[in-house]
Structure 1
């Protein structure tokens, strides 16, 4: 099974808008950390932060000043950030498209790791055939199927225990017109040895190992979080790391029905631990981000609010900007 950390996109496409969120890499890329920071503290307000403050916050996560400025510039070119300038000071905030995309993604992360819905015993099968000269289209289709929770039973046959929703149906039709067939039915057991069951499309033991690794890593830190001993830059850095780690699980574990999973499946424990760390550090992390931004803000300080799991479930994304916003710029 491919590592979940190799999957390029964590969040869904944004309805065809000219927006490209950074690719998710092994470890934390400067662009990924930048997006996480802004989402964690400005998603509800779309507040614009001074570029110098963003650079300073990224430095606390080990990103060099040059790497931070390059990340900001590239995110602006991709449509993830939009810039403004007052005098010699430039500021950046999440674009409307990025805020909507990240809000939907945050909701998806928690919804997909919640309690599994009852299963009717049927499977949805997506069969497709694309020639070699349409490799890019094939990659896009596979990526969309992966995001929807499907797995390859065979090369051109992907399956899921869940029904195909109307939005998902529209996305697949747009990606591969005339090349995909979708049907739903029950699995028939064969007496022959070596037959492949649908659930074999997923590496259940491998998924469990990733969950256990997450639980081992973050349980050690939980007592320090609950006792208020993680503060300042460490609080911000820890929230970023736990988010970047946990948000990969919906792609790894597509909320398979309980009937298909072993007893004691660790999904709920991992979700509860994530919420305890992420929400437990919200207040000290917010205080630190405010303090760093205050060092670079001239006049009124931007509205900074730590995003919580409750906000993620609510799908909150706001905009405090208006007609008096400064003119946009393209570079840091």
Structure 2
């Protein structure tokens, strides 16, 4: 148990979820801490660090098994009596999609253009599958057969539609660059399509939970490495879940009381504060077959616009 009442409360809230999302938390740790350090870890050390987050050995083993056998996130390599886990190629692709928006310092400026996907030529069943995938990529449902987004990686979109075997049956348009000062009608359309009020409320809840942790830790002369690892892991885990729902629309399309900006700033500040001590904890606790995890790759230090570790 941590000496911080605020951290203990975050751990308690996570463990009280039903069902408890142990597999999702494990993927957070892989994406945030293990992938930048080579991507492979001994199961025993993973069990040890997750114990501090309230997960027992049996739950971790069961969750890792499911991530391997049922969800194809992880693959295992046996070395003697020890098992070492890493992301599968499919898991790495899914990880890249899920995490690529987490660590950017600022969102790119918007030029007023849109990408439109018309799904009228798809069967009802396939259309729903495509809608779900496009919404995960930040598209909003302007109508039952029209999805739209103000920013789009066209190559990623085409690859996704190709994987779903619907590229030839989906009509894609890109609008010209336009006036980014959006009309009231368009802003209201965005508010409805992406449920922006609910997302903003979720960001406010995030701020209420993590501000006390930031205020407590920034006042300490010496930060405990394990506490920093707990704070960093739960911070990124909860923030990542919010970003999966947030299309990250340009500011011109957002409500005036949008709380996502403050949430991103808090995430950046707290992550920067706990990063160095948490990296010390990772080096001490996590192992590969060759010994401690390698040092983080240079790209790790570019997160949130630049880290000092």
The TM-score, its normalising length taken from structure 1, stands at: 0.69
How far residue 47 of structure 1 moved from its aligned partner, in angstroms, is 5.2
How far residue 28 of structure 1 moved from its aligned partner, in angstroms, is 5.4
For 2:170, the equivalent position in structure 1 comes to 180
Q: Which has the higher contact order (CA 8 A, sep 6+)?
A: 1
CA distance in 2, matches of 1:39, 1:281: 17
* Among 278, 281, 286, the residue aligned to 1:285: 278
Structure 2 residue 36 is the aligned partner of structure 1 residue 53: no
- CA deviations over 1:249-291 (Å, ceiling 9, x no partner): 3333323232222335333322121112223212222333333
CA distance in 2, matches of 1:272, 1:27: 30
* Among 225, 231, 238, the residue aligned to 1:238: 231
| Coordinate RMSD, CA, aligned | 3.6
How far residue 163 of structure 1 moved from its aligned partner, in angstroms, is 5.3
For 1:22, the equivalent position in structure 2 comes to none
For 2:60, the equivalent position in structure 1 comes to 68
Equivalent residues, number: 277
Structure 2 residue 151 is the aligned partner of structure 1 residue 162: yes
The TM-score, its normalising length taken from structure 2, stands at: 0.73
How far residue 170 of structure 1 moved from its aligned partner, in angstroms, is 4.0
**Structure 2: 5+ residue stretches without partners:** 1-16, 179-184
For 1:207, the equivalent position in structure 2 comes to 199
Structure 2 residue 100 is the aligned partner of structure 1 residue 107: yes
Structure having the larger proportion of residues in helix: 2
* SS of residue matched to 2:103: helix
**Structure 1: 5+ residue stretches without partners:** 1-24, 188-193, 315-332
* SS of residue matched to 1:43: helix
* Alignment CA distance shift 1:257-1:96 (3 Å): closer
Alignment map for 1:1-332 (pairs within 5 Å): 29-46=21-38, 48-77=40-69, 78-95=71-88, 98-99=91-92, 101-103=94-96, 105-111=98-104, 114-120=106-112, 122-129=113-120, 130-132=122-124, 135=125, 137-162=126-151, 165-175=154-164, 176-184=166-174, 198-199=189-190, 200-228=192-220, 231-263=224-256, 265-293=258-286, 300-303=291-294, 305=296, 310-312=301-303
* Alignment CA distance shift 1:166-1:257 (3 Å): same
Per mean C-alpha deviation after superposition, the further-off stretch among 73-82 and 273-282 is 73-82
CA distance in 1, matches of 2:19, 2:213: 19
How far residue 304 of structure 1 moved from its aligned partner, in angstroms, is 5.7
CA distance in 2, matches of 1:85, 1:311: 33
* Alignment CA distance shift 1:211-1:67 (3 Å): same
CA distance in 2, matches of 1:67, 1:271: 31
